[in-house]
Amino acid sequence: MTNAIDVVVTGLGATTPLGGDVESTWTAALAGKSGVRTLDNDWAQKYEMSVSFAGTLAVPAAEVLTRPETRKMDPSAQYAMIAAREAWADAGSPVVDGDRLATVVGSGIGGVWTILSAWDTIQEKGARRALPMTVPMLMPNSPAANLSIEFGARAGAHAPVSACASGAEAIAYGTQMIRDGKADVVIAGGTEAAVHPMPISSFAAMKALSTRNDDPAGASRPYDITRDGFVLGEGAGIVVLESAAHAAARGARVLARIGGLGTSSDAFHIAAPEPTGAGQTVAMQRALADADLTPRDIVHLNAHATSTPVGDMIEARAIRSLFGDDVDHMVLSATKSMMGHLLGAAGAVETILTILALRDRLAPPTINITQPEPDLGLDLVCNTPRELPAGPLAAINNSFGFGGHNVALVVTSA
């Protein structure tokens, strides 16, 4: 089926462990750099944490925003604001009727720093020291709401929450808003700021995190047989989505099209992925059908691939099952190898990397691969970028979240 309203991407913004903006992130990614580092604090010793590293922002938010801004927004909203301002400028700072402009920003965890520091204050100093901005800062819709205020977006401000699929789901939701005629332009993406001892310790309690403390930059290694868990990262990715007609009318540069959206839910387990990967395959199938494409059209796939022993191979099975014999002309990248897992921001940042891969015809590398899974059955882009073919290109970005949320986005070249 084809969609009556075509949705294009006209602006990109990001702040990640690899760089404070999109181009520095992309340059570092193509160079195969790692943004994962030992934490610059005493948490590991103080709390006896089993993990002492994460993918922390390359450029701290406090270096970009004003002091009042950092006081009035949780870090998760701060990162979204930084990425959104870049994306909006990248789109040419368009003049848009506010009634036709929306914001959609997801987060996996929300304002965890604000929640925990407010509770610390109350325990130490009593309820009278609770600050009045605490609730507006901690609520998970705060990034979307702050962006709607910043850009005067009155067509709606939404915050899809689906754990590590939130960022991709936000882009899907924003695309659907434009298709449904509810907006002409949507500022959409994901954000996460959960590099805090509580989430790190709790993910570690699930045995979900890599404990490669002596080699942080080498810890995230999707599809390598020595992988031992994911690496927590932080950041935000925001895209400006626009109806093709609106973009054309203002002469906007079009970076890519959001060709198709596919979602499904496993209905299986609150944290474990369903072992056959059937739900993931369905999400990809739906995205392809929505884009009116077949697996044969897909040249590149940015995998969810978090570097967990079990999850990576379930996704690989889901991809093989979808592609069948067409798998030989599709190259797979697992970019969490370089920046860790940005949870609710991951799907948005990785969609941006997928768009840039099509723009530059270069699939980004999967780093830290020394012994690839022998039974992978997929063409993994190991350690250095891979050229993509000439002509029109289509790619898939996968994002999956705790709770069994599966989101696949099909991106096609401009």
Partner 1 sequence: MANTEQEILAGLAEIVSEETGLPTDSVLPEKSFTDDLDIDSLSMMTIVTLAEEKFGVRIPDDEVKNLSSVGDVIKFIQGAQA
From CA 404, how far away is CA 271, in angstroms rounded? 7
**Residue 132 touching partner 1 (CB under 8 A):** yes
Q: Ramachandran region of residue 343, left (φ > 0), alpha (ψ -120 to 50) or beta?
A: left
Question: Inter-axis angle of helices 112-125 and 75-90, to 10 degrees?
Answer: 150
A 10 A CB-CB count for 138 gives 20
From CA 98, how far away is CA 155, in angstroms rounded? 7
**Residue 67 touching partner 1 (CB under 8 A):** yes
Q: Which of the stretches 35-43, 62-70, 272-280, 353-361 binds partner 1 when contact is defined by CB under 8 A?
A: 62-70
Encode burial over 324-360: b for 16+ CB neighbours within 10 A, e otherwise.
eeebeebbbbbbbbbbbbbbbbbbbbbbbbbbbbbee
SS3 157: strand
- Using the minimum distance from each CB to partner 1, give the nearer residue, 130 or 289: 130
To partner 1, the closest distance from the beta carbon of 82 in angstroms equals 17
**Residue 374 touching partner 1 (CB under 8 A):** no
Q: Which of 49, 59, 122, 133 binds partner 1 (CB under 8 A)?
A: 133
From CA 400, how far away is CA 165, in angstroms rounded? 5
- Using the minimum distance from each CB to partner 1, give the nearer residue, 2 or 66: 66
Q: Which of the stretches 51-59, 65-73, 154-162, 278-286 binds partner 1 when contact is defined by CB under 8 A?
A: 65-73
246 burial (CB, 10 Å; 0-12 / 13-18 / 19+) is buried
To partner 1, the closest distance from the beta carbon of 68 in angstroms equals 4
**Residue 127 touching partner 1 (CB under 8 A):** no
- Using the minimum distance from each CB to partner 1, give the nearer residue, 46 or 128: 128
**Residue 271 touching partner 1 (CB under 8 A):** no
To partner 1, the closest distance from the beta carbon of 140 in angstroms equals 19
Q: Which of 45, 66, 180, 325 binds partner 1 (CB under 8 A)?
A: 66
Q: Which of the stretches 82-90, 95-103, 132-140, 194-202 binds partner 1 when contact is defined by CB under 8 A?
A: 132-140
Contact 89, 11 (CB under 8 A): yes
Contact 254, 247 (CB under 8 A): yes
Residues known to be catalytic: 164, 304, 341
To partner 1, the closest distance from the beta carbon of 131 in angstroms equals 6
Q: Footprint of partner 1 on residues 27-56 (CB under 8 A)?
A: none
DSSP 95-107: ---GGGEEEEEE-
- Using the minimum distance from each CB to partner 1, give the nearer residue, 129 or 269: 129
Q: Which of 27, 47, 62, 71 binds partner 1 (CB under 8 A)?
A: 71
Q: Which of 39, 44, 130, 225 binds partner 1 (CB under 8 A)?
A: 130
Cα-based torsion angle of the residue sequence 196, 198, 202, 207 in order, rounded to the nearest 10 degrees:
40
Binding residues for partner 1, how many (CB under 8 A)? 12
From CA 185, how far away is CA 175, in angstroms rounded? 9
**Residue 125 touching partner 1 (CB under 8 A):** yes
- Using the minimum distance from each CB to partner 1, give the nearer residue, 145 or 200: 145
State the residues that interact with partner 1 by CB under 8 A. 66-68, 71, 125, 128-133, 136
